[in-house]
Amino acid sequence: SRRDHGSYDCFVLFLLSHGGETGVLGTDGQHVSVDSIVSSFQACKSLVGKPKLFFIQACRGGEKAFLKNPDQKPKIDSNESPDAGEKTLPTTSDRLVMYATVHGHVSWRNSDTGTWLVQVLADVITEHAETETLLEMLTRVSRTLGL
């Protein structure tokens, strides 16, 4: 957080590690929470207001889930509406964290081509970067991975 990142437009971190329900393993074998990693970059003054993208390729538990019906869409049921009078952004509004799997589950990799998240993300960006927004591309990645 002491480095000056003033000449950069955004920050991107790919973190590939073994993990569990609340974090990942560091190189010393010690557990580190993803929140603490993200928070350290939120505190960096030269990154304030700049997009910070975190891609986490790690297990988040031991459950194994398989997509049974890729055409099935999740039902969204909410009576909440955004406050039209809200004028401030939350301190987390300039960050995005994408996990390779949902909470409590393992993440997948191919021994030949690598992690599914990184491979699908690279393929989607290569094919759609000139015609789609980042949100549209990440939605494609999520749908492909069944997240």
Number of domains in the chain: 1
What does the pLDDT read at residue 84?
47
- The sign one gets for the Cα dihedral 112, 116, 122, 124 is positive
Q: What is the pLDDT of residues 68-117, one digit of tens each?
A: 444 443 333 333 434 445 554 455 678 899 888 767 777 767 777 778 88
Is 44 a domain residue?
yes
Is 112 a domain residue?
yes
What does the pLDDT read at residue 88?
47
What does the pLDDT read at residue 131?
96
Q: What is the DSSP string of 53-112?
A: EEEEES--SSB----S-TTPPPP--------TT--S--TTTTEEEEESS-TTB---EETT
Per the model's pLDDT, the better-predicted residue between 140 and 94 turns out to be 140
Q: What is the pLDDT of residues 52-68, one digit of tens each?
A: 999 988 877 777 765 44
pLDDT at 146 over 50: yes
The domain of 40 spans 11-63+95-145
Question: Partners of 103 in the beta sheet?
Answer: none
Q: What is the pLDDT of residues 9-24, one digit of tens each?
A: 999 999 888 888 878 8
CATH number (domain holding residue 37): 3.40.50.1460
What does the pLDDT read at residue 104?
72
14 is written with which tokens? 């790919």
44 pLDDT band (50/70/90 cuts)? confident
Rounded-to-integer distance, Cα 19 and Cα 4, Å: 30
Rounded-to-integer distance, Cα 85 and Cα 75, Å: 28
Is 43 a domain residue?
yes
Q: Is 32 exposed, middle or buried, given 0-12, 13-18 or 19+ CB atoms closer than 10 A?
A: middle
Residues assigned a catalytic role = 18, 59
Residue 128 near residue 104, CB atoms below 8 Å: no
pLDDT at 136 over 70: yes
Is 81 a domain residue?
no
Which residue type does 55 have? F
Query: pLDDT > 70: what percent of the chain?
Result: 78
Rounded-to-integer distance, Cα 88 and Cα 129, Å: 30
